[in-house]
Chains A and B, each alone.
Chain A
Amino acid sequence: MSEGKNDIQKENVNNPEKKVSQGRRDALKAMVAVPVLGAMAYGVYQKKKTELNNRNAAGMFRFKGDVAAYTPTNSDAPILRLGIIGFGIRGKLLMQALGFATPDYVENLKEQERIDPENTRYRDFLAQEDLRIEITAVCDIFDAYGEDAVRAGSNVYREGKNGRYGREPKRYLHYRDLLAASDVDAVVIAAPDHWHGTMAMDAIKAGKHVYVEKPMTWTVPETYALRAVVKENPHLVFQLGHQNRQIEAYERARQIIEKGLLGKITLIETGTNRNDPNGAWVYPIHEKASRDTIDWKQFEGDPERIKEYMDYMTSAGVTKYVGPEPRDKFSLERFFRWRCWWDYSTGLSGDLLTHEYDAMNQILHLGIPSSASSSGGVYFFKDGRTVPDVLQTVFEYKEKDLTMFYSATLANQFKRTRKIMGHDATMEVGNTLTVTVDPRSEQYHQKIEQGIIKPGEPFYTYVPGQSVDAVSSATERYFLERGLLYSFIDGKRYNTTFLHLKEWIDCIRNGKQPSCGIDQGFEEAITAHMGTRAYLEGRTMYWDKDKELITRE
């Protein structure tokens, strides 16, 4: 205290009339912070104001109703008994999505986690919700797959080798015997394309609910037949396996278009780029595969379907695409790589175009196009295949005044985004959405002039799982493009196939209609068939809406 006093006296010697205390002088000096903080407050205020303006500009991209929240299965829901037809590549994935995997597969997941602790696939698989289902029956015409399916079906505790297993499902050698079983309520069909329609029809006729992989049908006639059978049995739930129906961003895309935020849409561009043998359907041949372990007769197909197929190929004059080997000739290549031949396959149209089409049908309710033209060829995989590895298909929607363009190659994997092009803006649709305003937009003309919207730059991005919609910042875009952020929704990653199967199961339990039912399936199948026929015949195919027929003029 005394020291302080002395200081004051000393310092005030030269200025005796100004009796200001040292404390006050210190306080005054400390006030240097005031203008600094004031400047900061002013800066923050101005910045917030600008941001608010921008946010208001994006306000039109705000939506109230989001995608329905995830509803867990009731723990007292009755057990649903499932039969699995086909345990090949897709069948295995479907069963895993249902929560059933072979012990070998689980062992593999554990190993992956051991090597890389950041790999969460094993934990995710264990954490996946129990859908309260039992696999009571499996069917595969290749013994090794059939036996694997039994092991997967009994692996109710999701264990590795030497674990506890539940009751083994019965393995059937013929799918019709499986459909006749009384302990099967519903079936999941993942057989090759040429069997989809037949099996689905037979299953419905046998009183089973059906989940069938895409494409819905192999021939055009069976498409009508299947629709009729499903419509006659409205109490049975039919779901086509387009899991894209579960992608949250697509629902948001639909809302954006419904609000008219893109303006009049005239062109949709979609495509497929893959660049590896697996992506071109050159799958490995199983070591145990032979004449003795494969039921080739059943693989050949349903005689009625084969007749429909041959009738069309002959009448259209495109028998050069049949075979080239006789159907009854055993072939491991054909068994494992059936997608390469029209005799079993629907080619790029059925396998990959259908995904793109169904996504766009989900977002835009396109329906069946008025015409389709295709071109392409076998340009890279000259391995004896008859289906093209490069395909361009153009669908015209005369009534909607728009074109949907599909472009695919199996020998390049450059990333091309799906683009929905409107007069006012373009939306790129993937797991995330990006809307870029068109410089010549009329709707946004004023906002562009005011500088609120910068045309040509992504103006709005929607990232699933993010609670706040925001005008995209450079930072967000960087993370987004690298796919680093938001692979988790609410901290949990959902497999879309799981969600799609769950929707089907929920509908069976609640008597509701799933998102990809028979009407959507019919549109998908006819659209794909139009594209295929246009390719095979080398001419434009038309859709006669009134007669519901594919015509040549």
Chain B
Amino acid sequence: MKRVSQYSKPQIYSLLTLRLFIGWYFLYEGLAKVFTPNWSAYGYLIDSKGIFAPFFVQLTENPAVLSVVNFINIWGLTLVGLSLILGLFNKTGYIGAILFLLMFYLSHPPLLYAKYILPTEGSYLWIDKNLIMLAAVVVLMLFPTSRIIGFDSLLIRKKKS
């Protein structure tokens, strides 16, 4: 308790806001896929560029592998979103978020000459919003808030009791 109470109120609320926003982003990304019949990562993966592209394209070649990838995307994104919003199992949630963002970044790196079929809404060189969000998640992980505001606080209490 001592450690967390070192935050000032503005610090806590700005960290919480960041956590909720990122959680919201993940949750809706997941839900949108849950509600899209036959959603598949196929189109996104096949459009991969950069040195890791062969790996991502390979995922599309085997239907069984692709269905696993789809499942992980749909439910993984949803669970990460819930974790961040609820402040529940936040450490796992953050690690999941980092892994997802890393995969997104590596499959679609904003390289000098890479041209993607899906247009981006901005202009990027080497650093894109996925990477920025990844850095933000790392910050959230190092400055945890779920034990102050979130269900993790209840878990802690239960554990202690």
Query: Which of A's residues lie within 8 Å of B, judged by CB?
Result: 1, 3-4, 7, 22-23, 26-27, 29-30, 32-33, 36-37, 40, 43-44, 48, 118, 466-468, 475, 478-479, 482, 484-485, 491
Contact = CB atoms under 8 A, between A and B. Distances in A.
A30 B27 contact: no
Interface string B23-44: 1100110010001011000110
A44 B160 contact: no
29 contacts: A1-B160, A1-B161, A3-B160, A4-B157, A23-B157, A29-B150, A29-B153, A30-B87, A30-B150, A30-B154, A32-B16, A32-B20, A32-B150, A33-B86, A33-B87, A36-B24, A36-B85, A37-B86, A40-B24, A40-B85, A44-B35, A466-B38, A467-B38, A468-B38, A475-B43, A475-B118, A478-B117, A484-B43, A485-B46
A29 B149 contact: yes
Contact of A23 (B24, B42, B154): B154
A40 to B, nearest CB: 6
B46 to A, nearest CB: 6
Contacts of A485: 42-43, 46
B63 interface: yes
B13 to A, nearest CB: 10
B24 to A, nearest CB: 7
A26 B87 CA distance: 11
B24 A484 contact: no
B128 interface: no
A484 B115 CA distance: 14
A40 B27 contact: yes
B1 interface: yes
Given A26-B154, A30-B154, A40 B31 contact: yes
A484 B28 contact: no
Contact of B157 (A26, A32, A478, A484): A26
A491 B118 contact: no
Contacts of A1: 160-161
Contacts of B117: 478-479, 482, 484
Given A33-B86, A40-B27, 10 more contacts: A4-B161, A22-B157, A30-B150, A33-B151, A36-B24, A118-B57, A467-B38, A468-B37, A479-B43, A482-B117
Nearest to A118: B57
A29 B148 contact: yes
Nearest to B82: A37
B4 to A, nearest CB: 11
Given A27-B154, A32-B149, A40 B28 contact: yes
B47 A484 contact: yes
Contacts of B86: 30, 33, 37
A33 B46 CA distance: 36
A336 B65 CA distance: 48
User: Binding site of B, secondary structure by majority: helix, strand, loop or mixed?
Assistant: helix
Interface of B: 1, 16, 20, 23-24, 27-28, 31, 35, 37-38, 42-43, 46-47, 57, 63, 85-87, 117-119, 148-151, 153-154, 157, 160-161
User: Binding site of A, secondary structure by majority: helix, strand, loop or mixed?
Assistant: helix
Contacts of B20: 32, 36
B28 A478 contact: no
Nearest to A466: B38
Contacts of A466: 38
A37 B160 CA distance: 28
Contacts of A484: 43, 46-47, 117
Contacts of A26: 153-154, 157
A184 B161 CA distance: 89
A486 to B, nearest CB: 10
B151 to A, nearest CB: 5
Contacts of B153: 26, 29-30
Nearest to B117: A478
Contact of A30 (B28, B43, B63, B149): B149
A48 B36 CA distance: 10
A456 to B, nearest CB: 21
Contacts of A37: 85-86
Contacts of B85: 33, 36-37, 40
Contacts of B16: 32
Nearest to B34: A44
Contacts of A482: 117
A465 to B, nearest CB: 11
A480 to B, nearest CB: 10
B104 to A, nearest CB: 16
Given A22-B157, A32-B16, A33-B150, A48 B87 contact: no
A118 B57 CA distance: 10
Pick the most buried of A30, A118, A478: most chain B CB atoms within 10 A of its CB: A30
